[in-house]
Amino acid sequence: MTRFEIHTTSREAMVDVTEKVRQALQASGALEGWVLVYCPHTTAGVTINENADPAVPDDVLRGLGDLVPRHGAWSHAEGNSDAHIKASLIGSSVTIPVADGDLMLGTWQGVFLCEFDGPRRRYVSVSVLPV
Amino acid sequence: MTRFEIHTTSREAMVDVTEKVRQALQASGALEGWVLVYCPHTTAGVTINENADPAVPDDVLRGLGDLVPRHGAWSHAEGNSDAHIKASLIGSSVTIPVADGDLMLGTWQGVFLCEFDGPRRRYVSVSVLPV
Amino acid sequence: MTRFEIHTTSREAMVDVTEKVRQALQASGALEGWVLVYCPHTTAGVTINENADPAVPDDVLRGLGDLVPRHGAWSHAEGNSDAHIKASLIGSSVTIPVADGDLMLGTWQGVFLCEFDGPRRRYVSVSVLPV
Protein backbone atom coordinates (compact mmCIF):
# COMPACT_ATOMS: atom_id res chain seq x y z
CA MET A 1 0.00 0.00 0.00
CA THR A 2 1.28 3.43 -0.93
CA ARG A 3 -0.24 6.83 -0.35
CA PHE A 4 0.12 10.30 -1.75
CA GLU A 5 -0.73 13.74 -0.49
CA ILE A 6 -2.94 16.41 -2.06
CA HIS A 7 -3.11 20.02 -0.85
CA THR A 8 -6.47 21.43 -1.83
CA THR A 9 -6.73 25.19 -2.22
CA SER A 10 -10.48 25.91 -2.02
CA ARG A 11 -13.45 24.68 0.00
CA GLU A 12 -14.57 22.36 -2.81
CA ALA A 13 -12.56 20.81 -5.59
CA MET A 14 -12.36 17.78 -7.83
CA VAL A 15 -8.68 16.87 -8.11
CA ASP A 16 -7.73 14.50 -10.94
CA VAL A 17 -5.47 11.87 -9.36
CA THR A 18 -5.53 9.36 -12.22
CA GLU A 19 -1.82 9.60 -13.01
CA LYS A 20 -0.83 9.23 -9.36
CA VAL A 21 -2.99 6.10 -9.11
CA ARG A 22 -1.48 4.73 -12.31
CA GLN A 23 2.05 5.37 -11.02
CA ALA A 24 1.29 3.54 -7.77
CA LEU A 25 -0.08 0.59 -9.75
CA GLN A 26 2.96 0.44 -11.99
CA ALA A 27 5.32 0.67 -9.01
CA SER A 28 3.60 -2.43 -7.58
CA GLY A 29 4.51 -4.45 -10.66
CA ALA A 30 1.08 -6.15 -10.72
CA LEU A 31 -0.18 -7.12 -14.19
CA GLU A 32 -3.67 -8.41 -13.34
CA GLY A 33 -5.90 -7.69 -10.35
CA TRP A 34 -7.68 -4.79 -8.75
CA VAL A 35 -6.69 -1.37 -7.45
CA LEU A 36 -8.38 0.20 -4.42
CA VAL A 37 -8.18 4.01 -4.19
CA TYR A 38 -9.14 4.90 -0.63
CA CYS A 39 -9.77 8.27 1.04
CA PRO A 40 -9.27 8.20 4.84
CA HIS A 41 -11.21 11.45 5.43
CA THR A 42 -14.86 12.07 6.37
CA THR A 43 -15.39 15.33 4.46
CA ALA A 44 -13.85 14.19 1.17
CA GLY A 45 -14.41 11.23 -1.15
CA VAL A 46 -13.24 9.50 -4.30
CA THR A 47 -15.19 9.15 -7.54
CA ILE A 48 -14.73 8.22 -11.18
CA ASN A 49 -16.03 10.57 -13.85
CA GLU A 50 -15.03 12.33 -17.07
CA ASN A 51 -11.67 14.09 -16.98
CA ALA A 52 -11.64 15.35 -20.59
CA ASP A 53 -13.88 18.43 -20.18
CA PRO A 54 -13.20 20.23 -16.87
CA ALA A 55 -16.81 21.44 -16.96
CA VAL A 56 -17.92 17.94 -15.94
CA PRO A 57 -16.28 17.86 -12.49
CA ASP A 58 -17.41 21.48 -12.03
CA ASP A 59 -20.99 20.39 -12.70
CA VAL A 60 -20.67 17.45 -10.30
CA LEU A 61 -19.71 19.87 -7.51
CA ARG A 62 -22.50 22.24 -8.51
CA GLY A 63 -25.05 19.42 -8.61
CA LEU A 64 -24.03 18.19 -5.17
CA GLY A 65 -24.15 21.78 -3.86
CA ASP A 66 -27.71 22.13 -5.14
CA LEU A 67 -28.62 18.89 -3.32
CA VAL A 68 -27.08 19.57 0.07
CA PRO A 69 -27.15 23.14 1.42
CA ARG A 70 -24.14 24.25 3.45
CA HIS A 71 -26.22 26.19 5.94
CA GLY A 72 -29.13 23.96 6.93
CA ALA A 73 -30.69 22.91 10.23
CA TRP A 74 -27.74 20.66 11.04
CA SER A 75 -26.87 19.24 14.45
CA HIS A 76 -23.10 18.93 13.98
CA ALA A 77 -21.53 22.08 15.43
CA GLU A 78 -18.55 22.37 13.07
CA GLY A 79 -20.62 23.80 10.22
CA ASN A 80 -19.48 21.21 7.69
CA SER A 81 -22.36 18.72 7.76
CA ASP A 82 -22.88 19.28 4.04
CA ALA A 83 -19.36 17.96 3.45
CA HIS A 84 -19.99 14.84 5.56
CA ILE A 85 -23.22 14.11 3.68
CA LYS A 86 -21.55 14.56 0.28
CA ALA A 87 -18.74 12.24 1.40
CA SER A 88 -21.28 9.47 2.04
CA LEU A 89 -23.12 10.15 -1.24
CA ILE A 90 -19.88 9.94 -3.25
CA GLY A 91 -18.19 7.23 -1.22
CA SER A 92 -14.77 6.80 0.33
CA SER A 93 -13.20 4.59 -2.33
CA VAL A 94 -13.28 3.26 -5.87
CA THR A 95 -12.11 -0.14 -7.08
CA ILE A 96 -10.73 -0.47 -10.62
CA PRO A 97 -9.84 -3.64 -12.52
CA VAL A 98 -6.27 -4.05 -13.78
CA ALA A 99 -5.17 -5.82 -16.96
CA ASP A 100 -1.78 -5.84 -18.73
CA GLY A 101 -0.40 -3.71 -15.89
CA ASP A 102 -2.77 -0.79 -16.52
CA LEU A 103 -5.99 0.58 -15.04
CA MET A 104 -8.98 -0.68 -17.03
CA LEU A 105 -10.64 2.75 -17.01
CA GLY A 106 -12.99 3.64 -19.83
CA THR A 107 -11.92 6.13 -22.50
CA TRP A 108 -13.35 9.15 -20.70
CA GLN A 109 -12.86 8.02 -17.11
CA GLY A 110 -10.52 9.57 -14.58
CA VAL A 111 -10.21 9.20 -10.81
CA PHE A 112 -10.95 12.26 -8.68
CA LEU A 113 -10.38 13.17 -5.07
CA CYS A 114 -13.49 15.16 -4.12
CA GLU A 115 -12.76 17.89 -1.59
CA PHE A 116 -15.86 19.11 0.24
CA ASP A 117 -14.35 21.00 3.19
CA GLY A 118 -11.03 22.45 2.13
CA PRO A 119 -8.56 23.89 1.82
CA ARG A 120 -6.85 20.98 3.60
CA ARG A 121 -4.02 18.50 3.33
CA ARG A 122 -5.52 15.20 2.16
CA TYR A 123 -4.15 11.70 1.78
CA VAL A 124 -5.18 9.06 -0.73
CA SER A 125 -4.05 5.45 -0.38
CA VAL A 126 -3.60 3.09 -3.31
CA SER A 127 -3.38 -0.64 -2.77
CA VAL A 128 -3.19 -3.40 -5.34
CA LEU A 129 -4.52 -6.94 -5.08
CA PRO A 130 -2.91 -9.04 -7.79
CA VAL A 131 -4.79 -12.08 -9.08
CA MET B 1 -11.73 -10.50 -16.65
CA THR B 2 -14.68 -10.85 -19.01
CA ARG B 3 -17.09 -8.27 -20.27
CA PHE B 4 -20.53 -8.20 -21.81
CA GLU B 5 -22.43 -5.69 -23.88
CA ILE B 6 -25.81 -4.06 -23.22
CA HIS B 7 -27.74 -2.05 -25.80
CA THR B 8 -30.00 0.37 -23.96
CA THR B 9 -33.09 1.60 -25.76
CA SER B 10 -34.13 4.73 -23.86
CA ARG B 11 -32.41 7.71 -22.24
CA GLU B 12 -32.68 6.15 -18.79
CA ALA B 13 -32.98 2.52 -17.79
CA MET B 14 -32.13 0.07 -15.04
CA VAL B 15 -31.02 -3.14 -16.77
CA ASP B 16 -30.92 -6.25 -14.59
CA VAL B 17 -27.55 -7.90 -15.32
CA THR B 18 -27.53 -10.36 -12.39
CA GLU B 19 -27.58 -13.49 -14.54
CA LYS B 20 -24.79 -12.23 -16.77
CA VAL B 21 -22.66 -11.52 -13.71
CA ARG B 22 -23.44 -14.98 -12.28
CA GLN B 23 -22.49 -16.64 -15.58
CA ALA B 24 -19.17 -14.80 -15.64
CA LEU B 25 -18.47 -15.90 -12.08
CA GLN B 26 -19.30 -19.52 -12.84
CA ALA B 27 -17.15 -19.48 -15.98
CA SER B 28 -14.21 -18.38 -13.79
CA GLY B 29 -14.52 -21.52 -11.66
CA ALA B 30 -13.89 -19.57 -8.44
CA LEU B 31 -15.61 -20.95 -5.35
CA GLU B 32 -14.68 -18.28 -2.77
CA GLY B 33 -13.66 -14.66 -3.23
CA TRP B 34 -15.11 -11.43 -4.55
CA VAL B 35 -16.65 -10.28 -7.83
CA LEU B 36 -16.15 -6.75 -9.15
CA VAL B 37 -18.80 -5.51 -11.60
CA TYR B 38 -17.34 -2.44 -13.28
CA CYS B 39 -18.87 0.12 -15.66
CA PRO B 40 -16.29 1.93 -17.86
CA HIS B 41 -18.67 4.79 -18.76
CA THR B 42 -19.13 8.26 -17.23
CA THR B 43 -22.88 8.63 -17.83
CA ALA B 44 -23.89 5.20 -16.52
CA GLY B 45 -23.29 3.31 -13.29
CA VAL B 46 -23.84 0.03 -11.46
CA THR B 47 -25.98 -0.53 -8.38
CA ILE B 48 -27.55 -3.28 -6.32
CA ASN B 49 -31.25 -3.07 -5.51
CA GLU B 50 -34.47 -5.09 -5.54
CA ASN B 51 -35.14 -6.99 -8.77
CA ALA B 52 -38.41 -8.65 -7.72
CA ASP B 53 -40.82 -5.73 -8.26
CA PRO B 54 -39.92 -3.71 -11.39
CA ALA B 55 -41.49 -0.68 -9.70
CA VAL B 56 -38.40 -0.42 -7.49
CA PRO B 57 -35.85 0.32 -10.24
CA ASP B 58 -38.44 2.64 -11.81
CA ASP B 59 -38.65 4.55 -8.54
CA VAL B 60 -34.85 4.71 -8.25
CA LEU B 61 -34.70 6.43 -11.67
CA ARG B 62 -37.59 8.71 -10.73
CA GLY B 63 -35.98 9.61 -7.42
CA LEU B 64 -32.68 10.44 -9.10
CA GLY B 65 -34.54 12.47 -11.74
CA ASP B 66 -36.21 14.50 -9.00
CA LEU B 67 -32.79 15.16 -7.45
CA VAL B 68 -30.85 16.21 -10.54
CA PRO B 69 -32.65 18.23 -13.22
CA ARG B 70 -31.67 17.52 -16.82
CA HIS B 71 -31.85 21.16 -17.85
CA GLY B 72 -30.08 23.15 -15.16
CA ALA B 73 -27.41 25.88 -15.19
CA TRP B 74 -24.72 23.41 -16.21
CA SER B 75 -21.31 24.27 -17.66
CA HIS B 76 -20.73 21.08 -19.68
CA ALA B 77 -21.90 21.79 -23.22
CA GLU B 78 -23.11 18.31 -24.14
CA GLY B 79 -26.36 18.67 -22.22
CA ASN B 80 -25.88 15.50 -20.19
CA SER B 81 -24.46 16.85 -16.94
CA ASP B 82 -27.36 15.28 -15.06
CA ALA B 83 -26.17 11.87 -16.28
CA HIS B 84 -22.59 12.53 -15.12
CA ILE B 85 -23.80 13.61 -11.67
CA LYS B 86 -26.05 10.54 -11.32
CA ALA B 87 -23.12 8.33 -12.35
CA SER B 88 -21.07 9.68 -9.43
CA LEU B 89 -24.00 9.38 -7.00
CA ILE B 90 -24.60 5.72 -7.95
CA GLY B 91 -20.97 4.75 -8.51
CA SER B 92 -19.10 2.94 -11.24
CA SER B 93 -18.88 -0.50 -9.63
CA VAL B 94 -20.19 -2.93 -7.05
CA THR B 95 -18.24 -5.62 -5.22
CA ILE B 96 -20.04 -8.81 -4.16
CA PRO B 97 -18.74 -11.63 -1.94
CA VAL B 98 -18.66 -15.15 -3.40
CA ALA B 99 -19.20 -18.39 -1.49
CA ASP B 100 -19.74 -21.93 -2.77
CA GLY B 101 -19.27 -20.63 -6.31
CA ASP B 102 -22.25 -18.26 -6.15
CA LEU B 103 -22.87 -14.55 -5.62
CA MET B 104 -23.72 -13.89 -1.97
CA LEU B 105 -26.55 -11.50 -2.89
CA GLY B 106 -29.42 -11.10 -0.47
CA THR B 107 -32.81 -12.62 -1.27
CA TRP B 108 -34.15 -9.51 -2.99
CA GLN B 109 -30.91 -8.17 -4.44
CA GLY B 110 -30.05 -7.93 -8.13
CA VAL B 111 -27.29 -6.10 -9.99
CA PHE B 112 -28.32 -3.30 -12.35
CA LEU B 113 -26.58 -1.33 -15.05
CA CYS B 114 -27.98 2.20 -14.67
CA GLU B 115 -28.26 4.02 -17.98
CA PHE B 116 -28.51 7.79 -17.59
CA ASP B 117 -27.76 8.99 -21.13
CA GLY B 118 -28.98 6.39 -23.59
CA PRO B 119 -29.81 4.86 -25.85
CA ARG B 120 -26.23 3.62 -26.16
CA ARG B 121 -24.08 0.54 -26.41
CA ARG B 122 -22.63 -0.11 -22.95
CA TYR B 123 -20.02 -2.51 -21.62
CA VAL B 124 -19.84 -4.08 -18.19
CA SER B 125 -16.73 -5.90 -17.01
CA VAL B 126 -16.79 -8.71 -14.48
CA SER B 127 -13.63 -9.79 -12.72
CA VAL B 128 -13.19 -12.36 -9.97
CA LEU B 129 -10.60 -12.36 -7.20
CA PRO B 130 -10.50 -15.84 -5.67
CA VAL B 131 -9.38 -16.20 -2.05
CA MET C 1 -16.62 -14.87 5.30
CA THR C 2 -18.36 -14.17 8.58
CA ARG C 3 -21.51 -12.27 9.29
CA PHE C 4 -23.13 -10.57 12.22
CA GLU C 5 -26.65 -9.51 13.04
CA ILE C 6 -28.00 -6.06 13.94
CA HIS C 7 -31.49 -5.43 15.31
CA THR C 8 -32.48 -1.89 14.45
CA THR C 9 -35.09 -0.23 16.64
CA SER C 10 -36.37 2.69 14.56
CA ARG C 11 -37.26 3.33 10.91
CA GLU C 12 -33.91 5.01 10.26
CA ALA C 13 -30.63 4.60 12.05
CA MET C 14 -26.87 4.75 11.55
CA VAL C 15 -25.40 1.86 13.55
CA ASP C 16 -21.66 2.01 14.19
CA VAL C 17 -20.34 -1.47 13.34
CA THR C 18 -16.62 -0.61 13.27
CA GLU C 19 -15.67 -2.85 16.20
CA LYS C 20 -17.58 -5.81 14.79
CA VAL C 21 -15.78 -5.38 11.47
CA ARG C 22 -12.42 -5.12 13.26
CA GLN C 23 -13.14 -8.28 15.25
CA ALA C 24 -14.00 -10.19 12.07
CA LEU C 25 -10.76 -9.01 10.48
CA GLN C 26 -8.69 -10.03 13.48
CA ALA C 27 -10.38 -13.44 13.64
CA SER C 28 -9.29 -13.99 10.02
CA GLY C 29 -5.63 -13.59 10.98
CA ALA C 30 -4.92 -11.54 7.82
CA LEU C 31 -2.18 -8.91 8.18
CA GLU C 32 -2.34 -7.23 4.76
CA GLY C 33 -5.17 -7.05 2.23
CA TRP C 34 -8.67 -5.69 1.97
CA VAL C 35 -11.90 -6.05 3.94
CA LEU C 36 -15.31 -6.01 2.24
CA VAL C 37 -18.26 -5.04 4.45
CA TYR C 38 -21.39 -6.09 2.58
CA CYS C 39 -25.08 -5.47 3.28
CA PRO C 40 -27.41 -8.06 1.65
CA HIS C 41 -30.53 -5.87 1.99
CA THR C 42 -32.21 -3.49 -0.47
CA THR C 43 -33.49 -0.91 2.03
CA ALA C 44 -30.26 -0.54 4.00
CA GLY C 45 -26.67 0.25 3.08
CA VAL C 46 -23.15 0.62 4.43
CA THR C 47 -21.12 3.82 4.60
CA ILE C 48 -17.99 5.28 6.18
CA ASN C 49 -18.24 8.56 8.02
CA GLU C 50 -17.31 10.27 11.28
CA ASN C 51 -18.09 8.29 14.42
CA ALA C 52 -16.72 10.76 16.96
CA ASP C 53 -19.64 13.22 17.12
CA PRO C 54 -23.01 11.41 16.93
CA ALA C 55 -24.45 14.57 15.36
CA VAL C 56 -22.69 13.63 12.10
CA PRO C 57 -24.59 10.38 11.40
CA ASP C 58 -27.78 12.17 12.53
CA ASP C 59 -27.13 14.86 9.93
CA VAL C 60 -26.43 12.25 7.24
CA LEU C 61 -29.87 10.73 7.86
CA ARG C 62 -31.47 14.19 7.93
CA GLY C 63 -29.73 15.21 4.71
CA LEU C 64 -30.88 12.04 2.94
CA GLY C 65 -34.41 12.57 4.29
CA ASP C 66 -34.44 16.08 2.83
CA LEU C 67 -33.35 14.64 -0.53
CA VAL C 68 -35.80 11.76 -0.85
CA PRO C 69 -39.32 12.22 0.50
CA ARG C 70 -40.96 9.17 2.08
CA HIS C 71 -44.36 9.93 0.61
CA GLY C 72 -43.83 10.82 -3.04
CA ALA C 73 -45.45 9.72 -6.31
CA TRP C 74 -43.80 6.30 -6.11
CA SER C 75 -44.80 3.20 -8.09
CA HIS C 76 -43.63 0.55 -5.61
CA ALA C 77 -46.64 -0.40 -3.49
CA GLU C 78 -44.82 -1.18 -0.25
CA GLY C 79 -44.41 2.48 0.67
CA ASN C 80 -40.65 2.24 1.18
CA SER C 81 -39.33 3.51 -2.15
CA ASP C 82 -37.43 6.24 -0.31
CA ALA C 83 -35.48 3.52 1.49
CA HIS C 84 -34.62 1.73 -1.77
CA ILE C 85 -33.40 4.99 -3.34
CA LYS C 86 -31.28 5.84 -0.29
CA ALA C 87 -29.79 2.34 -0.39
CA SER C 88 -28.57 2.94 -3.96
CA LEU C 89 -27.27 6.43 -3.11
CA ILE C 90 -25.27 5.11 -0.14
CA GLY C 91 -24.27 1.76 -1.62
CA SER C 92 -24.37 -1.81 -0.43
CA SER C 93 -20.74 -2.19 0.62
CA VAL C 94 -17.48 -0.53 1.58
CA THR C 95 -13.96 -1.82 0.97
CA ILE C 96 -11.20 -0.92 3.43
CA PRO C 97 -7.45 -1.53 3.11
CA VAL C 98 -5.75 -3.60 5.82
CA ALA C 99 -2.19 -3.15 7.10
CA ASP C 100 -0.48 -4.67 10.13
CA GLY C 101 -3.63 -6.63 10.85
CA ASP C 102 -5.83 -3.54 11.31
CA LEU C 103 -8.35 -1.54 9.30
CA MET C 104 -6.63 1.42 7.65
CA LEU C 105 -9.48 3.78 8.55
CA GLY C 106 -8.71 7.47 8.96
CA THR C 107 -8.66 9.02 12.43
CA TRP C 108 -12.31 10.06 12.35
CA GLN C 109 -13.71 7.25 10.21
CA GLY C 110 -16.09 4.55 11.36
CA VAL C 111 -18.20 2.01 9.46
CA PHE C 112 -21.98 2.36 9.69
CA LEU C 113 -24.90 0.14 8.78
CA CYS C 114 -27.52 2.58 7.45
CA GLU C 115 -31.06 1.46 8.24
CA PHE C 116 -33.66 3.14 6.02
CA ASP C 117 -36.74 0.94 6.61
CA GLY C 118 -36.57 -0.47 10.14
CA PRO C 119 -37.03 -1.63 12.68
CA ARG C 120 -35.71 -4.90 11.25
CA ARG C 121 -33.21 -7.68 11.77
CA ARG C 122 -30.26 -6.98 9.47
CA TYR C 123 -27.17 -8.94 8.51
CA VAL C 124 -23.75 -7.62 7.58
CA SER C 125 -21.10 -9.85 6.05
CA VAL C 126 -17.38 -9.28 6.43
CA SER C 127 -14.90 -10.98 4.15
CA VAL C 128 -11.15 -10.56 3.96
CA LEU C 129 -8.91 -10.88 0.92
CA PRO C 130 -5.32 -11.21 2.10
CA VAL C 131 -2.54 -10.07 -0.23
Picking from B127, B128, B122, B129, the residue whose alpha carbon sits closest to that of residue B4 is: B122
Report pTM: 0.98
- 3-state DSSP of B69-93: CCCCCCCCCCCCHHHHHHHHHHCCE
Tell me which chain A residues have a C-beta less than 8 angstroms from the C-beta of B77: 53, 55
Chains that touch A (3 or more CB pairs under 8 A): B, C
The neighbour count for residue C105, using CB atoms within 10 Å, is 20
Average pLDDT over residues B102-120: 98
At residue C71, does pLDDT exceed 90?
yes
Q: How far apart are CA A56 and CA B77, in angstroms?
A: 9
**How far A54 CA lies from chain C's nearest CA (Å)?**
24
pLDDT of residue C121: 98
**Domain of residue B79, CATH code:** 2.60.120.460
User: Which of chain A's residues have a Cβ under 8 Å away from the Cβ of B38?
Assistant: 95-97, 104
User: Average of pLDDT values for B21-32?
Assistant: 97
Radius of gyration of chain B, Cα coordinates, nearest whole angstrom = 15
> Cβ neighbours of residue B85 under 8 Å, at least 6 residues apart?
A59, A60, A63, A64, B68
Q: Mean pLDDT throughout C14-30?
A: 98
Q: Does C109 touch chain A (CB under 8 A)?
A: yes
- A63: CB partners within 8 A, 6+ apart: B68, B72, B81, B82, B85
- Report the percentage of chain B scoring pLDDT > 70: 100
> Cβ contacts (< 8 Å) between A95 and chain B: which residues?
36, 38, 93, 95
What is the ipTM for the molecules in this complex? 0.97
Of C55, C67, C94, nearest to A75 by CB-CB distance is C55
Sheet with C2-7: list strands edge to edge.
C2-7, C121-130, C33-38, C93-99, C102-103
Please tell me whether residue B130 adopts helix, strand or coil conformation.
strand
Q: What percent of chain C has pLDDT over 70?
A: 100
pLDDT at C112 over 90: yes
Q: If residue B31 lies in a helix (H) or strand (E), which one and from where to where?
A: none
Confidence bin at C72 (pLDDT 50/70/90): confident
Asked whether residue C69 carries a pLDDT value surpassing 90, the answer given is: yes
What residues have CB less than 8 Å from B65, skipping those under 6 apart? B12
Half-sphere exposure of B126 (CA within 13 A, CB side): 24
pLDDT at residue B72 above 90? no
pLDDT digits (tens, 9 = 90+) for B4-19: 999 999 999 999 999 9
Range B59-88 average pLDDT: 96
- Cβ atoms of A65 and A72 within 8 Å: the answer is no
DSSP letters along A73-124, please? S-S-TTS-HHHHHHHHHH-SEEEEEEETTEE---TTEEEEEEESS-S-EEEE
In angstroms, the separation between the Cα of residue C118 and the nearest Cα of chain A is 20
3-state secondary structure chain C: CEEEEEECCCCCEEEECHHHHHHHHHHHCCCCEEEEEECCCCCEEEEEEECCCCHHHHHHHHHHHHHCCCCCCCCCCCCCHHHHHHHHHHCCEEEEEEECCEECCCCCEEEEEEECCCCCEEEEEEEEEEC
Buried b (16+ CB within 10 A) or exposed e, C31-52: eebbbbbbbbbbbbbbbbbbbe
The verdict on a CB contact (< 8 Å) between B76 and A62 is: no
Residue in A33, A60, A109 nearest the CB of B85: A60
| Mean pLDDT computed over C92-118 | 98
Domain count, chain A: 1
Per-residue pLDDT of chain A (131 residues; tens, 9 = 90+): 899 999 999 999 999 999 999 999 999 999 999 999 999 999 999 999 999 999 999 999 999 999 999 998 899 999 999 999 999 999 999 999 999 999 999 999 999 999 999 999 999 999 999 98
A91: containing domain: 2-130
Nearest CA in chain B to A97: B127
User: In B1-131, which ranges are E strands?
Assistant: 2-7, 13-16, 33-38, 44-50, 93-99, 102-103, 109-115, 121-130
* Residue C68 forms contact with A (CB below 8 Å): no
